[in-house]
Structure 1
């Protein structure tokens, strides 16, 4: 028998064990961006009605009661326990929805999304309020949200799901495969082709939905389409649908029984607010589905079923698990080479002289940035910062530190970005704390911003700093290094010495007479304590 559920689940668990961290992250990306795993998403973001509790759970609870307990008492105690679970869950969700940041762009998006319950329409409403002050007609927002939602689903979410299936197909035998392969459809530039395939699939599903019973049956007929497209994204939607129907012929009821066997996991996932799904069930279920695809794929190739010649990725066939990555160079669709518009060597070992000049360059840029923001917002020039000169040392220090501390990680762009956020957060929080303790004054206050910590740092600011540091490491600093290298060494030291002398003079003066005043340190006067929702 080809459809052995016990063997499929056992193999799925083994594959999950070998690729656990990678699979959890990939499934979480699909959940958050692609909108997959609806059970987990609903459990996380919706206050669902109490689920039907399985009979074995009820019996286990009853068995724990004393034998002398009456049946009515047992039922009452059990129902009370279930209600307590949902009461805690609903209270938690209510508190989450009551969280209302009051300042910043992220606050606009967070409040609109949480109030509307929909990411697309909430985001458009936020853009409307930010850009047009709410003057846009609601009808435009609704239709624009609908259109964007459809396009996002077809050309981002669905295709991201194909990338997820690609990761699972490759990793079941090549455990060294990187999770970046989730971007496989985008890398080989088949977004439009795959999007059109899913348009055809959605049209078929819609038409079958009109027949009621046909929608249920055809769901399993088309079950393998994402996997087929993940193996060979060069085929049309019509070919993928026809091949899925052929491969699932005689196996639809078996697939239905496999899904029903996960019912206990669905219930447990709901009771755990979706955490079971994130950390185990979602990747485990996808592992099992991947094994089903490989079994039916092997059957189709062996029996030479119509369309089986399209299943031509021979690198998926080996049965032995190896620690290497999937041999991308052997795939029949090559990844196009990216154009190199600007060749920059970011792996630079910056000399001390140039680091000093870089410090003052970004300290000045930071000062210009802060002054410009206040000038645009209030129409008033304000000399921002603790010092009196045209520099904000926190910007210069952050830039130099990420160049020095993160040099070993420059080859990993994503890790560098998050480490830059961490470094900037520590610097900004530490500086704010020091100034507050020394002068009992705040030079900045993020109270009211989304996810701020004691008003000293906030998510919005840290993301901006992270993006800025990323640009500094991989683009701006290497260009400045190239510029400074043309300076005569002696002239460079003269400039650096002059700047350091002026900076130290300013630093000593500001130690006794710090730069204060309106627009600089007057946060206390206009901060409403009731609106301070910073996290501790």
Structure 2
């Protein structure tokens, strides 16, 4: 019989192994899904006690409405400081500028942030209905094709994390990599449909959530399991354990109460990954009991390498029964790798083209016009490629410290962007971008908002994008890769020569006020 305290103890030990990765995955899934509840919702027991309803207003809206109804009798010291800043510095452009101006206007950092979010999300009432409709359709497609499969991939990550010290982020795509995503999707879709129908009964939905609780872990261990067997096995494993699992969820209630005082921060950085690692331990214990009882269908749970100490640092994927290198290769995104010169050249052009597509898309969908962004005429923005390559080459040695890497990426990318803007001004006397009016900008060449994006992008380059593309480019024959690099460099060199004589300019490219940055300098400092 499993013990709650022992499960929590083992859950905390598993959490310590990959705490940063678990936090990152939780935040990433929350971002992709539009809320943590899509992948891992509040435990049923806690939700029942706290009377949580996912269709109610968010905490931000409730607190904002409460704040608006309360009349402040006197100004605090913080309010006086914010009021002073608002009188002497008022940026006009960008998301951070809107947040800053709301804070100084409300004379409260917290409620100013809430009002800024409300302003961004709900100001345009005309398009609200269209956005809701589009969002509902996208959410439905996400739930059907991606969300359930990601949940199973995350359960796979949690199970491997118990035994092995190194677990790759690529385990999130486990069902796709073993080419069993269709079966996984159908099982999870069936689960969602059943729960949806059971919710119309008085108490059936609550009970069935516990009956189906182990399905994602069962599929994570064996994505080849038939639909009916997965449901039957989960019901049998939870038979006699549903009430204990309910009490198990209730044991986290104190953490949820404490989380209310941190406005959700504690839940993101500790509570959510802690509950997930502990739930994985619950599955392991129920699996052990199922083998002892020899319940029907238990033979499908046959991945012994998830539970036996093999002495390896990483799960041996080549021993997995569904692993077939001729059909599906498991790409390992190792950031601590050596890049060949041809791979670096191809990655440079890849990042440059992606940057060009990004900026062109912003104008195309924002203004409805096509604008060939950048100083050059070709479909590339080398500032993105240069920043990406410098981040990879210079910061790879610091990659084991993600927070340090983030700030160093801000410095590297900020220097590249500032020097690029300064050089273009000195050579051609024109601006290809100007951040005048943005929050905390420097001479209109860089700004805080852009630097934060560069920091996140730099980390994405090091940990995900560069290793991913390097894996692809390594498969290109060396002779073909060299020829491709030479052709790209020749085309780029020709573009440099032509653009130095006839730079790409015009509406949406260089129509910025050159003098505005000089005025903004005095306002910033």
Normalization by structure 1: what TM-score? 0.61
Matched, 1:309 2:330: no
Corresponding residue SS for 1:326:
coil
Map of 1:36 onto structure 2: 39
State the distance in 1 between where 2:278 and 2:353 align: 57
Distance 1:304 1:481 in 2: 59
Equivalent in the alignment of 2:512? 523
In structure 1, the gaps of 5 or more residues are 51-86, 101-110, 127-140, 341-345, 529-533
Match of 1:444 in 2: 433
| 2:117 alignment counterpart | 96
Whether contact under 8 Å (2:387, 2:416) holds in the other structure is: no
- Report deviation, 1:251: 0.9
Change (3 A) 1:331 1:519: closer
Does residue 210 of the first structure (1) align with residue 200 of the second (2)? yes
Contact kept, 8 Å, 1:435 with 1:442, in 2: the verdict is yes
Q: Which residue of the partner structure matches residue 60 of structure 1?
A: none
Bigger-Rg structure (1/2): 1
Matched residues, number: 427
Looking at structure 1, the residues matched to 263 and 317 of structure 2 have their Cα atoms a distance apart, in angstroms, of 38
Deviation of 1:191 after TM superposition, in Å, equals 1.8
For residue 240 of structure 1, what is the aligned residue in structure 2? 230
Contact persistence 1:399–1:472 (CA under 8 A): no
In structure 1, how many angstroms separate the alpha carbons of the residues matched to 2:473 and 2:316?
A: 31
**Cα gap change, 1:91/1:445 in structure 2, threshold over 3 Å: closer, same or farther?**
closer
Partner of 1:131: none
How does 1:148-167 map onto structure 2 within 5 Å? 148-167=138-157
Q: Secondary structure at the match of 2:163?
A: coil
CA contact (8 A) 1:159 1:194 kept: yes
Q: Is the 8 A contact 2:27 2:268 kept in 1?
A: yes
2 CA distance for matches of 1:372 and 1:5? 52
Distance 1:438 1:146, change over 3 A: closer
Equivalent-residue separation in structure 1 for 2:198 and 2:327 (angstroms): 42
Q: Which residue of 2 aligns with 1:331?
A: 320
Q: 1:423 to 1:483 in 2, by over 3 A?
A: same
Structure 1 position 293 matched with structure 2 position 314: no
Cα gap change, 1:47 to 1:37, in 2 (>3 Å): farther
SS at match of 1:47: helix
- What are the Cα deviations for residues 188-234 of structure 1, in whole angstroms up to 9, with x where unaligned? 12222112112222232233222212222222111111111111111
The Cα offsets for residues 287-310 of structure 1, whole Å up to 9 and x where unpaired, read as 111111101100101111122112
8 Å CA contact 1:162–1:229 kept in 2: the answer is: yes
Separation in structure 2 between the aligned mates of residue 166 and residue 27 of structure 1, nearest angstrom: 14
Judge conservation of contact 2:179–2:328 (CA < 8 Å) in 1.
no
Tell whether 2:9 aligns with 1:10. Answer: yes
Matched, 1:47 2:60: yes
Separation in 1, partners of 2:251, 2:136: 35
The CA RMSD over aligned residues, in Å, is 5.8
1:39-438 map, 5 Å: 46-47=59-60, 49=62, 90-98=111-119, 100=120, 125=130, 142=133, 145-318=135-308, 320=309, 322=311, 324-335=313-324, 337=326, 347-349=339-341, 385=375, 395=381, 399=385, 406=392, 425-432=414-421
Tell me the TM-score normalised to structure 2 length: 0.62
Tell me, what secondary structure is at the counterpart of 1:332?
coil
Change (3 A) 1:238 1:146: farther
Name the CA distance, whole Å, in 1 between partners of 2:368 and 2:150.
43
Distance in 1 between residues matched to 2:32 and 2:507, nearest whole Å: 42
Q: Deviations over 1:395-437 (max 9, x none)?
A: 5576467557745869x9xx9x999998555322333256679
Q: CA deviation at 1:444?
A: 1.7
Aligned-partner Cα distance in 2 for 1:194–1:368? 33
- Contact 2:355–2:384 (Cα < 8 Å) also in 1: no
Whole-Å Cα distance in 1 between the matches of residues 387 and 340 of structure 2? 14
> Alpha-carbon deviation of 1:273?
2.4
SS of residue matched to 1:324: coil
1:90 Cα deviation after fit: 4.7
Which consecutive unaligned segments of at least 5 residues does structure 2 have?
44-51, 64-107, 330-337, 518-522
Deviations along 1:75-111, one digit per CA (max 9) or x if unpaired, are: xxxxxxxxxxxx975543222333x5xxxxxxxxxx5
Q: Distance in 2 between matches of 1:308 and 1:371?
A: 54
Are the equivalent residues in 1 in contact too, given 2:371–2:508 (CA < 8 A)? Answer: no
